[in-house]
């Protein structure tokens, strides 16, 4: 099945979490596809000059502000993240409840606002937990080892219940580890940006564990391509893995960055984290078959482009 | 693997929800096995003279009362139910959040109270949603169609996360539709008690839908046998289906009751409910292999015993 690239032309597309890393790229792609883009979130800490379309400042827990911005939207992209896997296990019960409260409020608001479609970004890296077979298809067991992952999974299942009760249309993307321009280094999520930035500055890279942890890294342009296709699809399947399908260890990533940037990188290994599963690689056959989506960005080129953006960021 | 029937002798066993239908029978079985039984909950509306052991009056949302009663318990049986599938979908978000708040509070309280083991009664009839293959094994997809079922599933997965973080020991039973003495008729759950009681009184039976809805009915004595085995097991598996493995439609049940009681029953069919899945039959091979458990109570005998209890109840 092919998705018409112009399917969103003239449509009112609201991006919640538009100031973030994926949101910024998504808004640019939607804009170039002729969509009427409205961004909502905390104003990006990066260059706002690159943001296309209208912008509404607001917090995720401000239900009234969200109700206003998504009213009668054709598509709402929900990229608002919240916590991260490690932090979420300091107080799992509190994390789960906070995450559900804000997300459930968004879902019921979207129903009342008669939103045409809700595209929800779930977490391909955490909903499956410690899988035993790779790559992982969408129908694999889902046993998250963090409250963060369980929160995402529970929201997925609530979307399904609400679609049965109230007819809410939605698509869920279980996205792998995204990387690329606009990802800010030295944060709990986005190890690749951190590694590249440290490599550019000649500082040592800190790695939790022994560096054998394997993840599925996907360029943000490929993530956004999948998001646009998710918005336009009428497929019966509602849940799609979105990843490269290739597993890379942290040690391999350091080697790749060293190779592409042609610099030496020193690594400091620290004790592993309990919310880290050993391996995550997604099977994205369903997205290929039903969304006509496959990753396009070459690994080395993706790293080079990220490094270019990070080196320009450092000079501002 | 066999479970020693005396494994719980002298152990402090706290039953949360002891005043209910399953709780009453469980406390009696634990008592006859030599356990030191403490019941907690709303005082049963039925004959309290049959209750063995100590009783503590309290509400599920009273965290302090629960903390006190489960302090240093060897085993805590968590039978406190909350809502039911149909009611839960009137406001799914509120239902899920209320259910999680009280259950998560119980889990964290149990960890602080150094409970030896938590036995959690989940719902074999709702966590799988509309399954396509029968009987349903534990590793089948779990896509509940009600907030009630999703609440149970989410708590199951939180127990797993807490066991990894804090070492909480637990076993989950996904129990089918229980029936038997002490089940009160004319409530949202427990259709069998209602059918038998109406048959005894010669009043018509109301059935939602066309009576082809198939469920897995299990006698309460078999449920309690499984609960005791769940408390005593050290099996690596933490989740067990507990059902008869036999599917019976509502129409078949009416016929069985008519047959066993030798009375005619008139049926009034009403519009179906959205939270009703067409079929539920559990595959209980795992419980058989790891808990040495199989249902013992014969269907006709179970119905007769239930009718005896209900006819005595009617005379009080």
Q: What average pLDDT does this structure show over A58-77?
A: 93
pLDDT of A299 strictly over 50: yes
Confidence bin at B80 (pLDDT 50/70/90): confident
Tens-digit pLDDT profile for residues B155-209:
999 999 999 999 999 999 999 999 999 898 988 888 999 999 999 999 999 998 8
pLDDT of A243: 98
Q: pLDDT tens for residues A139-174?
A: 999 999 999 999 999 999 999 999 999 999 999 999
Residue B272 pLDDT exceeds 80: no
Please determine, for residue B230, whether its predicted confidence score (pLDDT) is greater than 70. yes
Q: Determine whether B215 is exposed, middle or buried from the number of CB atoms within 10 Å of its CB (0-12, 13-18, 19+).
A: buried
Query: Which of A127, A91, A150, A71 is CA-nearest to residue A277?
Result: A127
Chain B residues near residue A133 by CB distance under 8 angstroms: none
How close is the nearest chain A Cα to the Cα of B229, in Å? Answer: 25
Average of per-residue pLDDT across B106-126:
96
Distance of CA A226 to the CA centre of its chain: 11
Q: How far is B250 from chain A (nearest CA, A)?
A: 24
What three-state secondary structure class fits B220? Answer: helix
Could you give the angle at the alpha carbon of B51 between the alpha carbons of B48 and B55, nearest 5°?
90
Q: Give me the residue from B92, B160, B165 closest to A158, CB to CB.
A: B92
Contacts of B139 in chain A (CB under 8 A): 141
pLDDT at A130: 95
- Of the partner residues B97, B145, B161, the one whose CB lies closest to the CB of residue A164: B145
Each residue's pLDDT tens digit, A102-145: 999 999 999 999 999 999 999 999 999 999 999 999 999 999 99
pLDDT at B46 > cutoff 60: no
How many Cβ pairs closer than 8 A exist between chain A and B? 76
Q: What is the CA radius of gyration of chain A?
A: 19
CB contact (8 A) between residue A150 and residue B158: yes
A56: which 2 tokens? 């509404």
User: What's the gap in Å between the CA of A148 and the closest CA on chain B?
Assistant: 11
Average pLDDT over residues B273-293: 92
Is the Cβ pair B104, A93 closer than 8 Å?
yes
Which CATH architecture does the domain made up of A12-180+217-243 adopt?
Answer: 3-Layer(aba) Sandwich (3.40)
Output the average pLDDT for chain A: 92
- Across residues A1-8, what is the average pLDDT? 67
Candidates A89, A105, A160; nearest CB to B165: A89
Nearest CA in chain B to A103: B93
Among A157, A166, A168, the strongest candidate for a mutation testing the B interface, having the largest count of B CBs within 10 A, is A157
Residue B121 CA to residue B81 CA, distance in Å, equals 9
What is the distance in angstroms between the Cα of A89 and the nearest Cα belonging to chain B?
8
Of chain B, the percentage scoring pLDDT greater than 90 comes to: 80
Tell me which residues of chain A have a C-beta less than 8 Å from any C-beta of chain B.
Answer: 89, 92-93, 96-97, 100-101, 104-105, 107-108, 139, 141-147, 150, 153-154, 157-158, 160-162, 164-165, 274
pLDDT (0 to 100) of residue B167: 93
Domain boundaries, chain A: 12-180+217-243
Calculate how close chain B gets to A91, using CA atoms only, in Å.
10
pLDDT at position A271 is 86
Residue A141 and residue B144: Cβ atoms within 8 Å? no
Say yes or no for a CB contact (<8 Å) between B157 and A153. Answer: yes
Q: What CA dihedral angle connects B97, B103, B109 and B110, to 10 degrees?
A: -160
Superfamily of domain B12-179+217-244+281-296 in the CATH hierarchy: NAD(P)-binding Rossmann-like Domain (3.40.50.720)
**What per-residue confidence (pLDDT) applies to A123?**
96
Report d(CA A16, CA B48) in Å as an integer.
55
Average pLDDT value for chain B: 92
pLDDT, average across residues A284-288: 98
Three-class secondary structure assignment of A7-41? CCCCCEEEEECCCCHHHHHHHHHHHHCCCEEEEEE
From the candidates B91, B92, B111, B276, which should be mutated to test the interface with A, based on the most A CB atoms within 10 A?
B92
pTM of this structure: 0.95
Beta bridge partners of A78: A16, A120
Structure confidence at residue B85 as a pLDDT band (50, 70, 90): confident
Measured CA to CA, the distance from residue A14 to residue A70 in angstroms comes to 6
Residue of A nearest to B273 (CA): A165
Distance (Å, whole) CA B156 – CA B176: 16
Tell me which residue in A93, A153, A165 faces B92 most closely, judged by beta carbons: A165
pLDDT given at position B45: 57
Query: A157 and B145: CB-CB below 8 Å?
Result: no
Interface contact A104-B96, CB threshold 8 A: yes
The pLDDT assigned to B1 comes to 43
Q: Does the pLDDT at position B267 exceed 80?
A: yes
Predicted ipTM? Answer: 0.93
Q: Which residues of A touch B96 (CB under 8 A)?
A: 100, 104, 154, 158
Residues of chain A neighbouring B272 (CB-CB closer than 8 A): none
Using the 8-state DSSP alphabet, how is residue B245 labeled?
S
Cis bond before residue A85 (omega within 30° of 0): no
């Amino acid at each position: 099945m092919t998705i018409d690239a112009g399917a969103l032309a003239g449509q009112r597309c609201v991006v919640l979490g538009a100031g973030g890393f994926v949101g910024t790229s998504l808004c640019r792609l939607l804009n170039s596809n002729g969509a009427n883009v409205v961004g909502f979130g905390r104003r990006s800490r990066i260059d706002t000059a690159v943001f296309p379309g209208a912008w509404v400042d607001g917090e995720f827990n401000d239900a009234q502000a969200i109700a206003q911005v998504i009213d009668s939207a054709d598509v709402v992209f929900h990229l608002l993240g919240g916590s991260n896997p490690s932090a979420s296990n300091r107080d799992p019960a509190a994390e789960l409840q906070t995450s559900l409260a804000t997300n459930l409020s968004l879902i019921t608001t979207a129903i009342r606002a008669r939103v045409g479609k809700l595209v929800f970004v779930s977490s391909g890296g955490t909903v499956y937990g410690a899988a035993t077979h790779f790559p992982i298809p969408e129908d694999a067991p889902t046993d998250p080892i963090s409250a963060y992952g369980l929160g995402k999974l529970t929201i997925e299942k609530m979307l399904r219940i609400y679609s049965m009760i109230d007819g809410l249309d939605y698509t869920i993307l279980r996205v792998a580890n995204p990387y690329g321009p606009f990802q800010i280094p030295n944060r709990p999520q986005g190890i690749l940006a951190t590694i590249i930035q440290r490599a550019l500055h000649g500082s040592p890279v800190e790695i939790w564990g022994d560096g054998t942890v394997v993840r599925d890294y996907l360029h943000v342009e490929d993530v956004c391509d999948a998001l646009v296709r998710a918005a336009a699809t009428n497929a019966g399947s509602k849940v799609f893995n979105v990843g490269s399908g290739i597993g890379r260890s942290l040690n391999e990533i350091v080697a790749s960055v060293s190779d592409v940037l042609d610099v030496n990188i020193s690594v400091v290994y620290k004790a592993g984290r309990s919310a880290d599963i050993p391996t995550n690689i997604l099977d994205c056959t369903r997205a290929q078959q039903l969304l006509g989506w496959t990753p396009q960005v070459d690994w080395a080129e993706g790293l080079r482009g990220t490094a270019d953006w990070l080196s320009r960021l450092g000079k501002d």
